[in-house]
Amino acid sequence: MQFENSRALIVEGGAMRGIFASGVLDAFMSEGHRPYDFAIGVSAGASNLLGYVADAPQRSYQVITELATSRRFYNPRRFLKGGDLVDVEWLWTESNRRFPLDKQQLFSAIPFWATMTDVNTGKANYYRITEHNMHQAMVATAALPIAFKTTPCFSGGCFTDGGVADSIPVKEAYRRGARDITVVLSHPLSYHMPPNRHPWVMKTLLSRYPGVAEAMAHRAERYNASLEFIRTPPQDATVRVIAPPENFAVKRLTMKRERLDEGYQMGIKAGQDHITNLRGKYGLTRENCHFCF
């Protein structure tokens, strides 16, 4: 589906680092900031977008701080015994039981896609979230390789975490016709993904899925290429970036509530600042806002 000269919202994943994006999107919702024609999310970013599109303030914050910190979701001891390190299926089911979505709002709002990685090819697939595929697609986009043992399959394919193949699908948004793209990152702007120093480890652990192992081996190259696209977009496109500050201390598996709350407040502030600048306060506008490269 093409959206010529449209506005897109892209939200990166990053497991618990998604707490920043949850704050950004809650700030957007509190201000009624919904200028986008479509959205694409990856892993935790797709979960954050689900709350935004469904107009469910604080849902993502609650899912992260109340459920993703639970031993039922994240359990190293279970993993050492051969089980899941993270139980994505449980998190999805429990999230919808505890914090049900307004499906009428969700499916009458802008379309959004979840990114996932095909386990056979190692390539990115983008599935538009519908009422019929929502469960399978939302589990698939967050199904971390190795950490989640079950391989989600639907629509004729089997998938793993979307961040393996396309962590920041800004190029995909451009390909679909977006020319005004807002990207919410989960790392500070200074971040540069280092290359995989031991690709043989992934090849061994993922011997059943050589396509995924190959994608993991080249993940840093694709990630950094997306950052370069953000910094130097095509002449006919504008890319606006909302990223955590340099002192953002949340890591992929941070479980401390205090640190998560700090990250959430950083997201709230970043979202509010973004809207303030777009409204032209302090002389900043859509044409010269400092979130743009």
C-alpha dihedral, 266 to 271 to 277 to 280, nearest 10°: -140
Q: b/e string for 254-267 if b means 16 or more Cβ within 10 A?
A: beeeebbebbbebb
- Among 22, 43, 167, 226, the active-site one is 43
* Tokens coding 155: 């629509």
Give CA–CA dist 114/129, Å, rounded: 7
Give CA–CA dist 230/208, Å, rounded: 34
Residues 117, 160: contact at Cβ < 8 Å? yes
- Among 26, 84, 118, 161, the active-site one is 161
Catalytic residue flag (residue 161): yes
Amino acid identity of 28? F
The residues that are catalytic are 43, 161
